[in-house]
Amino acid sequence: MTIGNTSSTQSSTLPVVHLRAMEPEDLDFLYDIENDTNVWQVGVTNVPYSRYLLHDYIAQSTGDIYADGQVRLIVEDDTHQTIGLLDIINFSPTHQRAEIGIVISKNHRQRGYAKATLQETCRYAHRILHLHQLYAVISESNEVAIRLFNKQGFEKNNTLKDWLFDGENYQNAYLFSRFL
């Protein structure tokens, strides 16, 4: 099931992306993403996940943001090849907002997929999830993500001092948000 896609009507230079629910066949991809220590430095994960735990997560997830408090979606290209993962987490039904995180696989980076995914996520969050606001916490050293979110209408609202720890050093992070 495709939730949405970015078409050439938004930008002729952006690739097409599809967002879809996770399937059992996505276990290896999810395992690789969740256990990539380079990704840990820009997120909140700092422990490896077992295949068993991830299998159970996929099996038990309802895909309902109200029931689970989050939605995790697979990002596919126009040939339906898995290229990334989208997290919509920390959902607040009272305030109609959620945090987002996007990971594009290494061999698909710098091709516009993150931008296309962020655009599609904003549409999906507004039209389907009826969210009022999306936000992201981005390491101050992640210049690529900062540029991406700035260009997509997210505003830097706050600096979070010593927010992220990479195992050796603390790093500031920025809180970016966008009203939908």
Dist CA 132 CA 171 (whole Å)? 29
At 58, the amino acid letter reads I
Q: Hunting for tokens 């939605």 — which residue is that?
A: 71
Question: Exposed, middle or buried, 167 (CB in 10 Å: 0-12/13-18/19+)?
Answer: exposed
Q: Give the pLDDT of residue 41.
A: 63
Q: What is the mean pLDDT of residues 143-161?
A: 96
At 145, the amino acid letter reads A
Q: Taking the model in full, what pTM does it have? A: 0.86
Strands 133-139 and 97-104: parallel
Work out the pLDDT band at 40, boundaries 50, 70, 90. Answer: low
Q: Which of 119, 180, 123 is nearest to 148 (CA)?
A: 119
CB atoms within 10 A of CB 151: 10
CB atoms within 10 A of CB 24: 8
Q: Give the pLDDT of residue 9.
A: 43
Q: Give the pLDDT of residue 5.
A: 53
Average per-residue pLDDT for the chain: 88
36: its two tokens: 């990539």
Res 109 pLDDT > 80: yes
